[in-house]
Amino acid sequence: MNIVLLEPEIPANTGNIGRSCVATNTRLHLIEPLGFRINEKQIKRAGMDYWDKLDINIYSDLEDFYEKNLAAKEHMYFATTKAHHTYKEAKYNPDDYIMFGKESAGIPEEILSDNEDKCIRIPMWGDIRSLNLSNSVAIILYEALSQNGFEKMQLTGELHRLTYK
């Protein structure tokens, strides 16, 4: 899978998303301008000691991203509160891209209008504007991974019995 962050602004969100990407073997794409420097302490703190394991690519703008990821034009979903379809209605393939916009404004309207049939939303109650970006990424990413059988992911854990005296 591929997570695309268009002009992310908050380093802690990007750090948390990076950690989720490492845990799921997902590539992270960051499209500039970024609201932080990639070497900031906050981003690495949120990503903890996983940051060096992250498959990350940074692009100067959206055009640069599409030039270097030709398949993205055909295999992209756009996460937005303005979508007519929920993220559960999408049919994800293992190499799909899911784009999320910056925290303060989301994905620009012209991009959404050009891709209306590929726009997806997370249902929310009432008039809540949106969820936190890193939470939104996790919700949709895990749905996409679930639809693909959590391919090559560890599906079971093991309890270690503790004895008390």
Q: What residues are designated binding site for S-adenosyl-L-methionine?
A: 101, 122, 130
- DSSP notation for the chain: -EEEEES---HHHHHHHHHHHHHHT-EEEEESPPSS-TT-HHHHHHHGGGGGG--EEEESSHHHHHHH-GGGGTSEEEE-TT-SEETTTS---TT-EEEE-BTTTBS-HHHHHHTGGGEEE---STT-----HHHHHHHHHHHHHHHTTTTTS------------
Q: Which residues are annotated as a binding site?
A: 101, 122, 130
